[in-house]
Structure 1
Amino acid sequence: MSHENGEALYWTAFGMASFAATVLIRRPWAFYIVAMIGVMISSPGRMSDSAKSWRTTENGGTASELADLQKMLEELKATLQDKEKATWEGAAFEQFQVAYDAFTKSIESLKSTRDTTGEAVDQSAKLYHAGAYACMGIASFLMAIGVTLEVLRRNLLTAAFAQKLSEKLGRAAAKAGKNLLVKHGMALTVFVGLLYMVTQQSETAGKLFPTLTAIPTELDVLKSGGVPEFGDSASLVYDETSGKLTPARPDLQSGGLALPGQG
């Protein structure tokens, strides 16, 4: 369902209500309703498009990053298991397997949360789109009240009645606007909660490979005030006992330039 006209309906309702409150009704409660309509102005069409960006490709969305990451990890695991291409085994591979399993589960959970968030955004778009029509109804009601009051005020016999009618209809219109505003606020609260959940899960997923740390570059070491341990001749050595990859220092005594007096 397209919600592209939702934003235009909100602005039309806001304009109608503003005219009715300023020119025709001229009562404080009318401006209160105008303010409520102004707070609810949104773009249901863009919200609907955003829902597709949240949902994964498996559920009709456009978010493929998690699926691509999962595929890359599967390919990496297959490469590490292929003895013709790699010889990573023992404690190192076992540790990788544990991290891989935990990370895969986290990705599945994150994908589910993204799909849930996308559905929530889509439902919010429908609610806000319906709210646009509701605001149009309230604005039309204000216009009708304004025209009626303007006619009644011109007659001395009905002027007092117009005052009472204004307050009575104003309370009804304000109640309708307040109920609509509360529903919009509840939908926004749910959406913010889901966004927080996605953020927390993303951060948790990023911590599931605690043993994989980048080898510091010379620039990193210099920034910390240290001295680089190796240059272009750096390499990695596999420790069969611990199953770790450690940087290997070049042997400075095996060749190259020597200080005077040293052989």
Structure 2
Amino acid sequence: MGRVMVLGSLNVDLVTRVERHPQPGETLLGEGLEQLAGGKGANQAVAAAAAGADVLMVGCVGSDAGGTAYVERLRRLNVDVSRIRVVEGEASGHALIAVDDRAENTIIVVPGANGLLDDTEVDAVDLLGPGDVLLLQLEVPLPVVCAAARRASHRGARVVVNTAPYAALPPDVVALADPVVANEHEMVALAESGAEPASLLVTFGANGASWDGTSVPAHSVAAADVFDTTGAGDAFCGALAAALASGADREVALERALAAGADAVRHAGAQRDPAL
């Protein structure tokens, strides 16, 4: 069984609930304020560990209380934190999240230390080899993402790239990913960019997912059971990477990923029991 390395962001999420999302220039009152663990990278690392993978998280936090608490939390969740770098004098990344009565969310991300990943984090990829999986997202500097993807591929590791939040990637990085994971909107942007994935997995929310012709329906979740869609895509990606590292084929990997995504919408926050 291979190892999953997740190179990406760690955010402290500040979450409030609203009846509906405000229009531009409008002020609404929120109900409650929670401080939760988030960031696409750490969300996916926790999901991969929950799915049984041996997970190494690579990223940066600030020298603040939120960053310290986050690293300790990941350690308790069986994520290897030895490659999380503490940046002195910098704030950890934060995300401001509003969740409405339909469980839809809006998110503003303040990168903080997530914007300071550099060659130190790329060098961590040298720990990977054949059978391992490098899982990437786009909430950290794109040059680091691209350099890590290329190095991991050169070392024989499998590279999985989640194109969220969407940004155009060099064609060679898109081509080496197996797979590129995109939702419907990101798939359109990817096609418009002219990049050609050799392996493309598209998620369709409640309609399941398809990976180069292999389609699996979504797990049914009653509307009354949908509490918060924040992080469902990250749960999907983490479980997918764990399945691939275990040697699962496409159909099995999709099934496990969809099950994790369905479970994620039933609880608050991007991670199960996410309080910091």
Q: What is the TM-score normalised by the length of structure 2? A: 0.19
Larger radius of gyration: 1
Relative to total residues, which structure has the larger strand share, 1 or 2? Answer: 2
Q: What is the TM-score normalised by the length of structure 1? A: 0.19
